[in-house]
Chains A and B, each alone.
Chain A
């Protein structure tokens, strides 16, 4: 879905949405990897006596990835804003001053 949007959409905002979709799917993938059936929260003081815990590492990884994704999307949208100010359009077919 995300890839499709990035490759085939012509509107810059829709491309940005595609990228965030891609980010969300990667994060979801990481979280699902860490899930153990019937596991409880991986917080040492709150969990009490449990046999299986959900793995904490992917959650830490995902948290980092989400923060990075936030920075990227913010920058992406601000660049789109600048592009719109310069070109007056969001259509990629018209924003192509750099050729060859």
Chain B
């Protein structure tokens, strides 16, 4: 299969084409535009899944842009890579699949959700630019390209968050997000500069091969960790998350969740593949763990007191990010010690990576159900909502599934990944597991509150005429529901086929380097 070698480039080219062609498709009227949006989303997802299969079957894939051939990473006679290189290992491919599924569901949902507004061709253009940026961040093998794709994703998401520009809150949220992400992007740029100054290279694999800890590297590491943690919304840099998530249109929020995962991906790519064993001390892993615990705890306590349904969910996403950070921090802690790695490190990594897919799916679903409630009932305030289960049975059903999954009730997928995290963190430091458990209980408490006030209770006069949302919105939500149920029913298959290759790829720094640099060097 010859064309399959171009899959990494296709993953980026398809949504990019979709973005720039959507104003043209918009000329053909509403039906054409919608068909185009669905077509591109489905195609992107399909390409991502094929890429993932290829990576699982054939190992890490590299793709060089602008070279004589697609696979010459080292141009003739040179011992360092100079061209734009995409590098896809199992972890990147896994993240790309997760992200594209979230994007597909968001696109289905947005079709009808955004119907009431104008300027939709711009909306779909920005939407696909955001998808391109996200996938680019996950596939690139080059630090500077990471910065470029990060900026593509950020600029597109500023536009999408402020899409309802007649709402002052939306503009304010977008502005806040913009300041924070611009600062973090500049930090990343400066860190890239440090690497270039030291090693004359910006390729992750090339830098990783030559890396020796010095002052410049430490400064660059601090810049990278701080800015990427800012972007993925970990405490204490979390203040943009609730605003941005709550004010963006629901389909976009679903995608924004996946984009914050891309920053998280960058964080772990930097820690594992770039620095790897040369991190030296335990300071960085512990910083990440502490950041994770704080995010978990502060996120969930802030969520319990919220009255607006989407802000509540947004604070939960801060706390879920905390889980992932903590698990991967523990994995990082065990990186230098094979014994510890076998004992608890690898379990933590598996739990963390499994939690990434679970989190993206159920959090996306929750935001979509919140969007559905807002679409039908016209309110997001928990004090006003009530009795919606009578008029919106399907939405209620999906909300219950997602809420049970996020709270980690036993049969659901959230329980499996959380159990892995509890097990491994308990081996490191029992208090971590206690904090995680308490957070889980509080999560359950706040979702019981949402369920109770919004969906149960007597039917309210004001909501008598409320009906179930249109079919395409239900389709978007049920896509995510099906994924959640599948993950719930087959945790063993998911762990061994999806999660474990990704975790192994993340730990295997040498494999990542040699894919670009060649074994003989």
Which A residues have a C-beta under 8 Å from some C-beta of B? 3, 6, 12, 15, 19, 22-23, 26, 29-30, 33, 55, 57-58, 61, 64-65, 68, 71-72, 75-76, 79-80, 82-83, 86-87, 95-98, 100
Contact = CB atoms under 8 A, between A and B. Distances in A.
A76 B182 contact: yes
A98 B243 contact: yes
Contacts of B147: 65
Contact of A30 (B159, B172, B183, B193): B193
A79 B148 contact: no
Interface in B166-207: 168-169, 171-176, 178-179, 182-183, 185-186, 189-190, 192-193, 196-197, 200, 202
20 contacts: A6-B183, A22-B182, A22-B183, A22-B186, A23-B182, A29-B193, A30-B192, A30-B196, A33-B196, A57-B82, A68-B185, A72-B154, A76-B175, A82-B162, A97-B168, A97-B169, A98-B173, A98-B246, A100-B302, A100-B305
Contacts of A33: 193, 196-197
Contacts of B176: 98
Nearest to A31: B193
Contacts of B178: 72, 75-76, 79
B186 A98 contact: no
B142 to A, nearest CB: 11
Report the 3 A-B pairs with minimum CB-CB distance, sorted nearest first: A86-B168, A33-B197, A68-B151
Given A58-B196, A64-B148, A71 B155 contact: yes
B394 interface: no
Chain B contact residues: over half helix, strand or loop, or mixed? Answer: helix
B265 interface: no
Interface size class of B (residues with CB under 8 A): 35 or more
B169 A26 contact: no
Nearest to B176: A98
B331 to A, nearest CB: 31
Contacts of A79: 158, 162, 171, 174-175, 178
Contact of A61 (B144, B159, B246): B144
Contacts of A6: 179, 183
B30 interface: no
A76 B162 CA distance: 11
A23 B183 CA distance: 9
Contacts of B196: 30, 33, 57-58, 61
A33 B247 CA distance: 41
Contact of B186 (A26, A55, A64, A82): A26
Contacts of B169: 97-98
Contacts of A22: 182-183, 186
Nearest to B190: A26
Contacts of B175: 12, 76, 79-80, 83
Nearest to B239: A98
A86 B171 contact: yes
Contacts of B200: 55
Contacts of A68: 148, 151, 155, 185
B460 interface: no
Nearest to A71: B155
A64 B146 CA distance: 13
B190 A29 contact: yes
B449 interface: no
A72 B189 contact: no
B165 interface: yes
Contacts of A26: 186, 189-190, 193
A76 B243 CA distance: 17
A19 B179 contact: yes
Contacts of B514: none
Contacts of B306: 100
Given A26-B190, A75-B158, 10 more contacts: A26-B186, A26-B189, A30-B189, A61-B192, A64-B144, A65-B189, A75-B159, A76-B175, A79-B162, A98-B172
Nearest to B155: A71
A98 B484 CA distance: 32
A55 B441 CA distance: 56
Given A61-B196, A64-B148, A98-B243, A19 B172 contact: no
